[in-house]
Amino acid sequence: MRSEVDRVWTASELAEILGDWAGGPGPLYRGLAGALLAAVEAGDVAFGERLPAERDLARGLRVSRATITAAYGLLRERGVLDSRRGSGSRVASRPPSWAKAPAGTAAVVRRLAAGPGGVISLAGAGEAVSGDLAAELAAVAAEDLPGLVAAGGYHPRGLPALRDALADRYTAEGLPTDPGQILVTTGATQAISLVSGLFLRRRSTVVVESPGWPGCLDAFRAAGARLAPVALDEEGARVDGVAEAFAARPSLAYLMPTFHNPTGTLMTESRRRRIGQLADRHGVPVLEDNAYCTTLGGTVPAPLAAYAPPGATVLTVDSLTKRVWAGLRVGWVRAATPVVDRLAQLKTLADLGSPVIDQALAVRLLRRPPAGPTEAQARLAHLEGLLRARLPEWRWHTPDGGSALWVRLPEADGREFAQLALREGVEVVPGEPGHTDHIRIPFLYPDTTLAELAGRLARAWAAHGRRSRAARGSARPVSGNRDARA
């Protein structure tokens, strides 16, 4: 087995962790050298690991080879890289052990953790804030806060009023639920992490849909699990693939039946029932993530758990984050009471309970009538019109719901396009391996942001076309104006 220090980074792998290296002032080679140094200091690129060859990295980042040569040279002068004839350039300094990024962390999560920059980021879902959020929060402070203070601040399983409201909601949707079957979490991400801690060990197998979204899969990677992808069709995860995967007795299956992220596919009732039956037959726990549930009209089936036989283990995760505001970190998991009891122990160890005022706000938001799909439909139509006008070569299917378009870039690698998009001020997250010719574009941004986004993407695509034509006509990449300063 190859040791960590024997690792050779590919250009596409390295590009994903460099961030907005081309967006600052000054020559490109200095920006690239700074980004590489930051990756070494953070432990993303470790001592002894070999960087891509200059020609390969130039092709992957869509810059001239002179830019790579100058960046590598600057890092050699600082003692960060050690270059030897025949073995390439290796990291020569060892970062502190605490600085190394968590195992299995996807690039999208590292970008979010780094904080906002001066770009339009497509890493998040881009939801608009609910218009009456401030009024509801004021009502919590005026009417609910005295009772919350009197009741004490520790509610590891969740505020009782919120658990009651969620149980009533699931029951009304066709999934009879008792408050004891609800655990409130700090967003859907924590719910997924808790479930991973309960069901997974290192080298466990998790069945996932393909394509998937990198950030949604990180909890499983961090647990050391192996992912077993199952293809999608227009009705959701394919039954033949699920049946084959379940027959191997995986530790867990992670599915997004209600507006899959990133494709927006809505799993049909018959498909939900069939997968529930397979889960029961093979004894495979299913974690269904319904957090991306913005509807664009039409009827939405009950959660998959409603279609599974009584003996099946199905855990249902949801949150208000995608519906209301990314800053409202209120999620939950619905499962059989014994499972919730075990999850509650992990939750208590993690943080003793989610913020109570946020939960009180969630109670008020859940009491409101559901918002109609009009605004989401209008923003989706606006983005589709902009893309058709500015980027007619791109292809996508209008989603059933969710918050983003899953767009195919013809004859392009999304990882390479992401480098050009960064220079235009757009943070693009390409699909996972096997789907790197796709990118996800959220459509819930304000119209002005969508218009600016489409313009920046169009400029990046034009630059991609120019460089592709140049690459076909010459063995060397063509330097742009900023490259010439290298």
**What CATH number corresponds to the domain at position 270?**
3.40.640.10
Whether residues 139 and 287 share a domain: the answer is yes
Whether residues 143 and 277 share a domain: the answer is yes
User: Residue 411 belongs to what domain range?
Assistant: 120-129+373-484
64/57 Cα distance (integer angstroms): 9
In angstroms, what CA-CA distances link 269 with 20, 187, 211, 275?
Answer: 43, 26, 21, 10
Whether residues 324 and 353 share a domain: the answer is yes
Whether residues 294 and 336 share a domain: the answer is yes
In angstroms, what CA-CA distances link 252 with 103, 203, 228, 405, 437?
Answer: 20, 12, 10, 28, 28
406/262 Cα distance (integer angstroms): 6
Whether residues 311 and 339 share a domain: the answer is yes
Whether residues 61 and 195 share a domain: the answer is no
Which carries the bigger pLDDT value, residue 94 or residue 450?
450
pLDDT of 109 over the 90 cut: no
- Which of 367, 399, 430 is the last residue before a domain boundary? 367
Whether residues 391 and 468 share a domain: the answer is yes
Whether residues 181 and 328 share a domain: the answer is yes
Note if the pTM is more than 0.75: yes
156 is a domain residue:
yes
Whether residues 418 and 354 share a domain: the answer is no
Band of residue 17 on the pLDDT scale cut at 50, 70, 90: confident
Lowest mean pLDDT among 108-122, 191-205, 214-228, 279-293: 108-122
111 is a domain residue:
no
Best CA proximity match to 58, nearest among 44, 40, 45, 71: 71
Whether residues 362 and 461 share a domain: the answer is no
Band of residue 283 on the pLDDT scale cut at 50, 70, 90: very high
Radius of gyration of the chain, Cα coordinates, nearest whole angstrom: 24
109 is a domain residue:
no
Q: Angle 214-222/107-114 helices, nearest 10 degrees?
A: 100
Whether residues 328 and 381 share a domain: the answer is no
* CATH number of the domain residue 71 falls in: 1.10.10.10
Residue 259: burial class (beta carbons within 10 Å; 0-12, 13-18, 19+) = buried
Which tokens in the block code for residue 87? 């073995």
Average pLDDT over residues 129-145: 84
Band of residue 83 on the pLDDT scale cut at 50, 70, 90: confident
- Which of 367, 388, 410 is the last residue before a domain boundary? 367
55 is a domain residue:
yes
- Which of 317, 338, 367 is the last residue before a domain boundary? 367
Into how many domains does the chain fold? 3
Residue 468: burial class (beta carbons within 10 Å; 0-12, 13-18, 19+) = middle
477 is a domain residue:
yes
